[in-house]
């Protein structure tokens, strides 16, 4: 049994068919990068993994069970736009997720429990390199630092799956390179299964252990919404982006685009 199994998944919004016939399986610890033309359904797919969107047809199984139809702690997400709380400092932002859960059970957070939450938060803040900024508020942080904070927040819940929706899209190239190293380290250290949407095909090749290309196979020029995208390429990559034949594969994808 695979860690995650996607069985004949279809998704439409009204009469717009977004995705069709997606059949894939993913093992624990894989890092799947997803690329494809704008509007082809990558974020929709990610939102289905999160439980925010439901499939029109087909199913997604996590460890053999139907994926829960609402976001939960098994799945953490980091968006392109920083999703941290502006009125909380770095430490408070990371602690808050656990404090919410604890308060939901007891109505308040016990002092001893709070101490444990703080220790855990400090460890994740350290892992993302934000210890010097512990007491800073989001508006005092650079874009890269805010993304580090969002990653630390997501890790607090020990998710089995980490979903990244263009997490580095708004960052400068130099900072992106640092973030790539960070996410690679976190992926390996925490044995996470990661799904990342990116517009940057090079980033997809460099970061993932597997690359999915979303594209439409069927077209009707008179009814452009009739058919959805599928995963047209599913490529195993050498971990760490050392794939020797990147250029060949990119050329093949470009050729495919031209032939459409
Ligand atoms: N909630 C929604 N209601 C109706 N249509 C939607 C909804 N969400 C997405 N869509 C449509 O589904 C299609 C796929 O959108 P999606 O955002 O998943 O694509 P994408 O590949 O992530 O695009 P981009 O690369 O530009 O972010 C688009 O045509 C979009 O307009």
pLDDT in tens, 194-233: 999 999 888 998 888 999 999 988 888 887 788 899 999 9
Is 19 part of any domain? no
Coil, helix or strand at residue 1: coil
Segments forming the whole domain that contains residue 223: 25-51+70-74+161-260
Distance 55 CA to ligand 1 centre (A): 14
| Tens of pLDDT, residues 59-111 | 999 999 998 887 788 888 888 777 789 999 999 999 987 877 766 665 666 67
Is 103 part of any domain? yes
Strand order in the sheet with 210-216: 65-66, 57-62, 4-13, 16-26, 229-236, 210-216, 31-36, 193-197, 161-165, 75-79
Question: Could you tell me the sign of the dihedral formed by the alpha carbons of 45, 51, 57, 63, in that order?
Answer: positive
**Residue where a domain terminates, one of 108, 141, 158:** 158
Q: How many domains does the chain have?
A: 2
Whether residues 139 and 231 share a domain: the answer is: no
List, chain by chain if needed, residues with CB within 6 Å of any ligand 1 atom. Answer: 13, 16, 18, 36, 38-44
**Which ipTM was obtained for this model?**
0.96
Distance 41 CA to ligand 1 centre (A): 5
Whether residues 172 and 247 share a domain: the answer is: yes
Are 23 and 233 spatial neighbours (Cβ–Cβ below 8 Å)?
A: no
Residue where the block lists tokens 């009814």: 223
**Residue where a domain terminates, one of 158, 191, 222:** 158
Angle at 194 between CA 190 and CA 200, to 5 degrees: 130
Q: Predicted confidence band at 113 (pLDDT cuts at 50, 70, 90)?
A: confident
Whether residues 29 and 122 share a domain: the answer is: no
């Amino acid at each position: 049994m695979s860690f995650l199994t996607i069985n004949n998944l279809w998704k439409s919004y009204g009469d717009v068919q977004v995705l069709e016939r997606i059949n894939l399986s993913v093992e624990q610890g894989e890092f799947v990068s997803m690329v494809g033309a704008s509007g082809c359904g990558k974020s929709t797919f990610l939102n289905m993994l999160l439980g925010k969107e439901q499939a029109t047809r087909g199913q997604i199984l996590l460890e053999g069970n139907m994926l829960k139809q609402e976001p939960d702690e098994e799945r953490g997400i980091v968006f392109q736009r920083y999703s941290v709380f502006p009125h909380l400092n770095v430490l408070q932002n990371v602690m808050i997720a656990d404090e919410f859960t604890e308060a939901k059970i007891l109505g308040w957070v016990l002092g001893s429990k709070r101490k444990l939450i703080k220790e855990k938060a400090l460890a994740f803040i350290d892992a993302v390199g934000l210890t010097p900024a512990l007491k800073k508020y989001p508006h005092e942080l650079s874009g890269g630092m805010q993304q580090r904070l969002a990653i630390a927040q997501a890790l607090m819940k020990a998710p089995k799956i980490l979903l990244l929706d263009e997490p580095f899209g708004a960052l400068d190239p130099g900072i992106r390179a640092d973030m790539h190293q960070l996410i690679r380290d976190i992926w390996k250290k925490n044995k996470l299964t990661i799904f990342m949407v990116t517009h940057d095909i090079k980033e997809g090749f460099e970061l993932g252990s597997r690359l999915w290309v979303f594209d439409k196979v069927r077209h009707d020029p008179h009814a452009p919404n009739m058919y959805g995208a599928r995963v047209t390429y599913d490529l195993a990559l050498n971990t760490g982006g050392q794939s020797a034949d990147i250029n060949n594969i990119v050329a093949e994808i470009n050729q495919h685009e031209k032939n459409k």
